[in-house]
Amino acid sequence: MSKISQLHVNGSDAKIDAEGERTLLSVLRDDLNFCGPKYGCGEGRCGACTVLLNGSAIRSCQVNVGSVGQRKIVTIEGLEHDGQLHPLQEAFLKHDAFQCGYCTCGMIMSGVALLSKRKDPSEAEIIRFMDGNVCRCGAYQRIIAAIKDAAKTPVEITP
């Protein structure tokens, strides 16, 4: 696979020089210092690496950077605008929806993707959509509460 020289991340074009077979997760973290997405399993089974790709939640550990092209990537670092947190970030704080926090960025990105598709998701929809994200500390009940709470404050994500 050939080298990749550009990615569109969090609203701007970033210059990179990376082998296309590297994972999007590694390039975001190791080349661009967007460390919100985390390595948790490398199998796409924990969701800690979740970012938005053209608005959809994807596991960045399962995507080769060479396959991304011009699609727009949003990481947790791109959610905050002018010092204003996304309502789901606020809701995570309000509900203490985490303990160690290692899953949190991936959880929030999955939750943001869900809320962009379903304005007022039911509990069953939340569970189905979020089931690929693991919180080993077990804060699931609070995360569900945070997503429901954030649904009351709709926002448009403009990557």
Interacting residues toward another protein by CB under 8 A: 18-19, 21-23, 26, 29-31, 33-43, 45-46, 48, 75-77, 79-80, 85, 89, 92-93, 96, 98-105, 108, 126-128, 130-131, 133-144
- How far is the C-alpha of 20 from the C-alpha of 38, rounded, in Å? 20
Q: Which is nearer to another protein, 85 or 157 (CB)?
A: 85
Are the CB atoms for 8 and 32 separated by under 8 Å? no
Compute the least distance from the CB of residue 134 to another protein, in Å.
Answer: 6
- How far is the C-alpha of 73 from the C-alpha of 70, rounded, in Å? 9
Task: For residue 130, give Cα distances in angstroms to 6, 34, 41, 70, 141.
Answer: 30, 22, 16, 27, 12
Q: Which is nearer to another protein, 38 or 53 (CB)?
A: 38
Compute the least distance from the CB of residue 84 to another protein, in Å.
Answer: 11
